Amino acid sequence: MKLMPAVGALGVFLLVVGSWIGLFVAPADRFMGDIQRIMYVHVPSAWTTMVCFTVSLVAALGWVYGVVRPAKDGQRSWGWDDALESSIEVGVMFGALLVMQGMIWAKPTWGVYWTWDPRLTTVAVMELMFVAVLALRSFVDEPVRRATWSAVTTLVAYVNVPLVYFSVRWWSSLHQVQSTSDSIDPEIWRPLGINAFGFLFVAIAFMGLRTQVARLTRETLLAGDDVGPSAGGAR
Amino acid sequence: MTGVMQGHWDAVVLAYSLTFGSMGVYLVSVLVRTRVALAAREAADQKEAS
């Protein structure tokens, strides 16, 4: 946890460098001009959102495994629930940024801020379903029930992630298909890659800090109930 | 450049400002919640000790 400020600082440094190159060094796109520079934050936001929601999937599976096969000493692996809460919140934050950047980019290129295109629609559904998981958590006070319900709903919500990724290939979409390092010029790929790592490190730092909040809040709640986190009775 | 689309720096600036501004606001919100959670935890510990 003490590493998180350093990871975050490295992320910010990479974002400054990547954004500087993306804004002032990389050439403007042949067709879209300077508006294409939004890509250097838009695409990393998308990747980071996917990474955060994948972390939440792993955390949900970890918690569900603990429910199906409880530890012999009766202890709960609360770390999974803390990680789930933090990764979903950070993922939703980056997902909201993704949608807003996309809308700003869409207006001059597509003529509208929003259209019910398969990619945009699946992203909206994914974002709303993970927001629903966070809302569910705020409605359930009992920690074990909250953790189990949010793990199960996370598994359901995660179905949207591959749908978002493949939506541009499976259905006719205004949104372009994924670019790779082979399909775009190195001058464009360089700031994109630097910013991608910058976003990733910042997201890791956010998740680390947010996990600490989740752990402290849950420990305080359990201490108030006279069932500490190490008490096996918190079922 | 073909000139199909030129300019739009206002949209670029808006997107970058929104992105990094939101990340900054989120960082502050997490730090504030950390302080609040730490204070609540300490208060619970003191209550338990007494």
pLDDT value, residue B2: 46
Going A33 to A38 to A42 to A43, the CA torsion angle's sign is positive
A213/B30 Cβ within 8 A: yes
- The nearest CA of chain A is from the CA of B7 a distance in Å of 6
pLDDT value, residue A234: 38
Query: Would you call B37 an interface residue with chain A, using a CB distance cutoff of 8 Å?
Result: yes
A29 phi, psi to nearest 5 deg: -65, 145
- The nearest CA of chain A is from the CA of B49 a distance in Å of 11
* Range A4-26+35-224 classified under CATH 3.40.50: no
Give the residue-averaged pLDDT of A84-88.
97
pLDDT value, residue A98: 96
Give the closest of B18, B34, B44 to A100, CB-based: B18
Structural tokens at position A212: 């600490």
pLDDT above 50 for A70: yes
Please, are residues A123 and A98 in contact by the beta-carbon 8 Å criterion? Answer: yes
Q: What is the pLDDT of residues A13-51, one digit of tens each?
A: 999 999 999 999 998 888 888 899 999 999 999 999 999
Calculated CA dihedral for residues A11, A17, A23, A29, nearest 10 degrees = -90
Closest listed residue to residue B1, CA positions, set A206, A33, A16, A171: A33
Residue A115 or residue B7, greater confidence:
A115
pLDDT above 60 for A107: yes
Task: For residues A149 and A141, give the distance between their C-alpha atoms in angstroms, rounded to a whole number.
Answer: 12
Quickly tell me which residue has 């975050």 as its tokens: A8
B48: which chain A residues are within 8 Å (Cβ-Cβ)? 223
Q: ipTM of this predicted complex?
A: 0.88
B22/A30 Cβ within 8 A: no
Residues in chain A: 235
* Distances, alpha carbon A76 to alpha carbons A34, A100, A207, B40, in Å: 52, 39, 21, 22
Least confident of A31-35, A160-164, B34-38: A31-35
pLDDT above 60 for A77: yes
Least confident of A156-160, A172-176, B38-42: A172-176
Task: For residues A62 and A78, give the distance between their C-alpha atoms in angstroms, rounded to a whole number.
Answer: 10
pLDDT value, residue A227: 44
Cβ-based neighbour number of residue A231 at 10 Å: 14
pLDDT value, residue B5: 61
Give the closest of B4, B15, B30 to A105, CB-based: B15
pLDDT value, residue A61: 96
pLDDT class of B1 with cuts at 50, 70, 90: very low
Task: For residues A30 and A36, give the distance between their C-alpha atoms in angstroms, rounded to a whole number.
Answer: 9
Give the closest of B4, B12, B20 to A37, CB-based: B12
What mean pLDDT, rounded, does chain A reach? 89
B6: which chain A residues are within 8 Å (Cβ-Cβ)? 33-34
Quickly tell me which residue has 């074990």 as its tokens: A144
Please, are residues A214 and A82 in contact by the beta-carbon 8 Å criterion? Answer: yes
